[in-house]
Every structure is written in C-alpha cells, then in structure tokens.
Amino acid sequence: MTPTDFRVRHALVVAAAVLAAASQPSAEACTGIRLKNSDGSFVHGRTVEFGIPIEMDIAYVPAGQSFTGTTPLGAGLAWEAKHAAIGLVCFGNPGIMDGLNDQGLAAAAFYFPTFASYAETTEENRARSLSPVDFSNWILTNFADVAELRAAIEADTVVVAPTIVPGWPAEPQPFHWVVYDAAGRCLVIEPVGGRLVLHDNPLGSFTNSPTFDWHLTNLRNYLSLEPLDVPKVELEGLTLEALGLGGSLLGLPGDFSSPSRFVRASFYCVTAEPAEDGIGGVLSGFHLLNQFDIPLGAVRSAHGDTTETDSTQLTLMRDPAARRLYYRTRGDQAIRFVDLDDVDPAAGLQRFSTVSTQTVLDMRPAFEAWPAK
C-alpha cells in the first residue's frame, strides 16, 4: 500500500466513524460518583451533559412550599414540602432535578433513553401521579433518608407518568434516579415495565442506560483492573519492564458510552485516596469528574438536517454534612457554592442563574527578582 493509498483509506475510516457516531441519539452522558472521606463523611456529585444548551438555575425551595404534579390528565399529586432544598432547576421549571435537602438527602435525575417505561395515569391513580421532572423534587421535599423513601415507594404512594412538562423539550423525559442520604446509603430508582424498580447501590457510581443491574453485571468483565502497577516479568533470561505507570489499567474503557463511563466511575470511586474532610472530598470529586468531561465536538448526533453536539455543561458536588452545593460550568471553571443554611426561608421560592463569565487572572505583577537580592 502506498502512502497515498494509506492516507485515503485512513480518511475513509475516520469519515465512516464520524457518520456512525452522528447517527446515534444524543449521549446525554451524565456521570455520578460518591466518595467517602477520612472523617467518615460522604460527598457526591455528577456531570451534566446534553445535546442542546440547558438553561440551568440554582433554586431554593423552603419548607411549606406547595407543589402539584403534572400528568397527561392534568393536575396530579399535590404536596407541601416537609424539607427545604437547594438544587438545579432547568428550562425555568421549578422542579429540582439535582439537589440536596436540609436532612442531607440528595436526589438526581439522569437520562435513561430507550429503557424508561412509565406507568399510565388513570382517573383512579391521578391523585398519586406526577411527571418525571417532578419526581426528584418530590423526593427532596418529602424525605429525610433512603429508608423513608424506599418505604414510600414500596407502599405505592406515587406514580410516575410520561408527561410533557412546560419549559422542557416537547416529549416525556426518560429518566432514572440516584438518591444518597447523609449516612452514605445510595438507592437507584428506575421506571421499568410501568413500575418503579429499586436497587441498592453500594458503589455510589451512576450513569445512563441500560438498567443498573446490567451495569453491575458488566463490571465482572473488568475484574483484572487495579491501581498497583505491573511488576517486572522474567522470560528466558530477558527482563521485561512496564513502559511506565498505568499498565495495570489496560482495558479500562475510555469512550463516552454509558457502560464505559460506569466502569471508569466505579473504579475511580473505589480507588480514590480519601480526603480529610468534606471540603477536601469536594475538591477531590471535581478532579475525579474531570475524567468525564466531554470536549465540544467529540460526541455528536444527527436529527434530520440538525446535528447536536454533546458536551459537559455543568459539574457539581454535594456536601450533605455541610448542606452545601458546589458547582462550576463550561463557561466558567471557577467553583462556586451555595449553603442551604444561609438562604432566608422567609423570601420563599428563590433562584439565580448559573451563567457567569470566566475570570482569567493576570499574574505578571507576581514576578519578583530571583534569586532575591
């Protein structure tokens, strides 16, 4: 094969790969993690990816706030918030999609495409029904820990129905949810076959489709991965040494698919060096979540004449002991936080935009003579 032939063939292979990737649905490639600190506390967080820009605000919901679930038949489940909460709201809708309440309970919605199968709303169950967008908000404003939530779901007190929600794209959103409490317990909730299926999640990691039990089974393909480097090998008097660190991770999947991200997240969570305390864990979590940043242009999907490009739009960490939510955005990598205990509940439902401008510091004035005179 001539150099010209090789270049042409290589170009065709790359073009075919790009076209194949573009024909797939948007990745919506969110990744969740949980870390345990040396002081026994837990922190957790996630990335937010989507194929179109998401209008994201940080909202505060006071205890006593009234909500009514949305269903295909109209108004559904009505409730009053037992717990105050802070978190992300999207497209101007007041339902918190990812947040933390005053008891340290956290709930987060993740895309669950091609697998989400919701219940049907009927006149008989309408008073217990709400939309997928309402569900995480219902969790945060009603429950103190995973045990309380599990009991309520197992008692069939709520029905999640496929509903088009004001402000969101015009289709029922396919979600599944991960919930953490202050003690570090983690619960996965998935709408499968018209009912809410519960899974304990001892790893704390979370991604998207397929179902959570499939992801756990898939981990058995990666039992050889370990952080300790590969030792020397003697072969017929020849000593072979690793070319560098990291050889024991050969086979760790590096693509942005949900199964691959789940494997990476699980490995990083269980091998992470514990931070001293909550703020240390938060900063470690941001570093870990850097591994899941999607560069703009790397993951695309075609919808007719329109091409959507997935990218990491926001990254957040939660510290349940401090009741603080930390975040940074694609447009501004500075880490910001909001403290649930510092928000004035008398002001009622509140929000602010996550949009801000990146500050680039000029360090030229820091130069000094060296060595010092």
Structural domains of the chain sorted by starting position, each given as residue range(s) with its CATH number in brackets: 15-223+274-355 (3.60.60.10)
Q: Which of 1-15, 19-33, 309-323 has the lowest mean pLDDT?
A: 1-15
Evaluated on CA atoms 298, 262, 115, 52, the torsion sign reads negative
Q: Which pLDDT tens digit goes with each residue over 132-143?
A: 999 999 999 999
Rounded mean pLDDT of the chain?
90
Q: Are 325 and 318 in contact (CB under 8 A)?
A: yes
pLDDT for 163 equals 86
Q: Which pLDDT tens digit goes with each residue over 238-266?
A: 999 988 888 889 999 999 999 999 999 99
Residue type, 73: L
Residue 94's CB is within 10 A of a number of other CB atoms, namely 16
Q: Which of 163-177, 184-198, 308-322 has the lowest mean pLDDT?
A: 163-177
Residue type, 166: P
Q: Coil, strand or helix: which one is 177?
A: strand
